[in-house]
Structure 1
Amino acid sequence: MSELNLRRLRYFLAVADTLNFGRAAERLHIAQPVLSRQIALLESELGVTLFVRSSRGTSLTDAGRLVQEDAASLLQSADALRKRARSAALGVDRLALGFMPGLMVTPIVQGLRQSFPGIELQLVRTGWDDQVDTILDGRVDLGLVRLPVPERGLQVEPLFAENRVAVLSTAHPLAAAATLNLAALAESELLQSPDAAPEWREARRRLDLPVAMNSDHPRDVEIKLERVAASSGVVFLPASTARFYTRPDVVVRAVAGLEPSRVAVARRTGHSSRVLLEAVALAHALRASLTTERVLDEDGPRGSR
C-alpha cells in the first residue's frame, strides 16, 4: 500500500458525513468528478471499497465505517504535529492541555504563563470516550483524566480523589432525602452507562432487577442532565462536575457506599519537554485547587466512573 494521503482522507470524511458526493464536493469547493476520482484513489491505496453507490443513495461499507472512526483522529493528530513542529521552529513554547468536565485547570494555565511568557496554550475538553485517545494521538500533550484508564502507552500519576454524588430531578420521589443509599437508587432508571456506576448495577442485581445494556447513553454531561430533568432517572457524577453544571430543575445528593472518583495526570510514555514537566509539577503542587471538594485519602478505595 502506498503512503496514505491526508487530503484524500479529508475528502473521504466529507462524503462520509453527507453520504452525498454532490454536497460533499460543494463543501470542499471542488468539482464532483474530481472528488469521485480522489475517493477511488483512496480506495485503491487502502485496498478496500469505502462506499456503495446505488439508486437508493450512498452508504458506507463496513470498511468505510471503520475508516470513518479512525480518520478524524488521524487528521487531528497530523494537525497537532504540524502545530508542534512550527512552534518548535519558531522557538515558541506550546502545550495542549486536556481536562474532563468539572476539573479546573486555571492554576496550571496561570503557572505556565508565569514560567513561560508567550506560551501558546490550547485547552481541550475531553470525555470518557476520548480522554485517552486525545493524548495517544497527539491532540493533547497532558491530560487531567478520571480513572480508571488503560495505561498502555501512557504515564499516569494519581492526583486526588473526590466524592461522587447522585443527580435527580426535583420531581423525583427521593429528591427530598438528605442522603441516599444505593439500594433505594437501584429502583430508579440509570440514565448513563451501567459501566459508569458499577455499584448501582450490583445493587440492582441484588434486588433481582434487570440491568439494561443498550448503548444509547448520552456522552455529554449536558444531555445527561436534560434527561434527568425530564424523567425520574438518575446519574452519578463527580461532585465537582455536578457543581459546575448546577441548574434549578435537578438536585444533588450524597450517596452512602458510592466510591470516589479519582483524578490523575497523564501523558504519552516517553513524551517530555520543559513545558510538559512544569505542567506536571503544577498539577501536583496545585492539585487541591483542581476540585471544589475535599481531597480524600489517597489510600482509600479505588474509584470508578
Structure 2
Amino acid sequence: MTDSQESPSFRLAYVPGVTPAKWVRIWNERLPDIPLELLQVTAVEASDALRTGEADAGFVRLPVDRTVFSAIPLYTETTVVVVPKDHLITAAEEVTLADLADEVLFHPLDDVFDWDSPPGEPAFERPATTADAVELVAAGVGLLVVPQSLARLHHRRDLTYRTVVDAPQSSVALSWPEEATTDLVEDFIGIVRGRTVNSTRGRPARPETPPKGKRADSSAARQKPAAGKTAGRSPRSRSGGAKAPKRGKPRRRS
C-alpha cells in the first residue's frame, strides 16, 4: 500500500451522468484537512486519467480492465430513448428495440453502450458527443438511446424519454488502479460503502489530542488509598452526631 502522505489531496474523477455530491460531502465532514478535487472526464477518458495518476479514483462506466483496475460496482441504470415530445413513441410508457427498428438512431462517438448490432436505421453521420446527438434529436432528424442519467443531464423542454425494456444497460462503479490503493483510496471506499467512522472494516479513526491543561490519563486521580489509611470520612462522621463511646472491659465482682 502506498503511503497516503505522498498526496496532500484526493483527486476524484467522474463521468457524465454521475453525481458525486453525497460522497464529497461525507468526505469533507470526515477529512476536512484533506481537500477533495473533482475531475470530470468522458467515459473514454476515465481509464487514462486513472492510469496516468491524474486521478486517484473515479466513478466510471463498466467494463474496465480488471488486470489493471479494481472496481466496486455501485448501480445499473435504466436505458431510455430520447425523443421529441410530439413523437408517436410518447404514447407508450415503455418501448422495445423492435419498436425503434424503423427509426434513425444516433450512435455518438462517446456512446457508452457496446452494441453487438446497433438498432434502428443508421444516421448519415456519427455525432462527436452525446450532447451533439441530443441537439440533432431536438431538430427532429433522429432518436438517441442513452442511460437515464444522461437523458436527465441533457434535458430540454422540447424533449422527453421512454424506457427501452430490452436494451443493454450501463453500470457505474468506483474504480482505481490496483497498484495504487492508497490510504486515501481506502478512506473513500469506506465512504462509498457506507461505513461509519468507527467501522472495524475501515481505517481506524484518528486519535484526538487531549485539550491542553488536562491530563491525558486520569487513572492516577482514581488510585486506591494506601493500606491502613482512610480515603475519606466515615459514613458516621458525616451525620454530625457524637461518636458512640467505646465499651470497656466488664468489672469483676468481688
TM-score strictly above 0.5:
yes
CA, structure 1 residues 199+136, in 2 after alignment: closer, same or farther (shift >3 Å)? closer
Q: How far apart are 1:246 and its partner, in Å?
A: 2.1
Q: How far apart are 1:197 and its partner, in Å?
A: 4.5
CA root-mean-square deviation: 2.8
Q: How far apart are 1:143 and its partner, in Å?
A: 0.7
Corresponding residue number in structure 2 for 1:124: 39
Q: Does 1:201 align with 2:117?
A: yes
What is the aligned residue count?
A: 192
Corresponding residue number in structure 2 for 1:231: 140
Q: Does 1:104 align with 2:13?
A: no
More helix by share: 1
> What amino acid does structure 2 have at the position aligned with 1:201?
S
Corresponding residue number in structure 1 for 2:149: 240
Q: In structure 2, how many angstroms separate the alpha carbons of the residues matched to 1:184 and 1:212?
A: 17
> Which of residues 244, 248, 272 is equivalent to 2:181?
272
Q: How far apart are 1:164 and its partner, in Å?
A: 1.3
For the Cα contact (< 8 Å) 2:81–2:162, is it kept in 1? yes
Corresponding residue number in structure 2 for 1:72: none
> What amino acid does structure 2 have at the position aligned with 1:97?
L
Q: How far apart are 1:119 and its partner, in Å?
A: 1.8
For the Cα contact (< 8 Å) 2:15–2:60, is it kept in 1? yes
CA, structure 1 residues 240+193, in 2 after alignment: closer, same or farther (shift >3 Å)? closer
Structure with bigger gyration radius? 2
Corresponding residue number in structure 2 for 1:187: 102
Deviations 1:193-225 (A, max 9, x none): 496445693655xxxx6x5696x4322x32221
Corresponding residue number in structure 2 for 1:174: 89
Identity of aligned residues (%): 26
Q: In structure 1, how many angstroms separate the alpha carbons of the residues matched to 2:127 and 2:165?
A: 25
Q: How far apart are 1:272 and its partner, in Å?
A: 2.2
Higher relative contact order (CA 8 A, sep 6+): 2
> What amino acid does structure 2 have at the position aligned with 1:143?
G
Q: In structure 2, how many angstroms separate the alpha carbons of the residues matched to 1:198 and 1:270?
A: 28
User: For structure 1, which runs of at least 5 residues remain unmatched after alignment?
Assistant: 1-86, 287-305
Q: How far apart are 1:123 and its partner, in Å?
A: 0.8
Q: Does 1:222 align with 2:128?
A: no
Deviations 1:150-203 (A, max 9, x none): 333211221121211111122433233322111121221222249644569365
Q: In structure 1, how many angstroms separate the alpha carbons of the residues matched to 2:10 and 2:158?
A: 38
Corresponding residue number in structure 2 for 1:282: 191
For the Cα contact (< 8 Å) 2:61–2:112, is it kept in 1? no
Q: Does 165-174 or 107-116 show the bigger shift? A: 165-174
Corresponding residue number in structure 1 for 2:73: 158
CA, structure 1 residues 229+203, in 2 after alignment: closer, same or farther (shift >3 Å)? closer
Q: How far apart are 1:251 and its partner, in Å?
A: 0.8
Q: What TM-score do you get using the length of structure 1 for normalisation?
A: 0.56
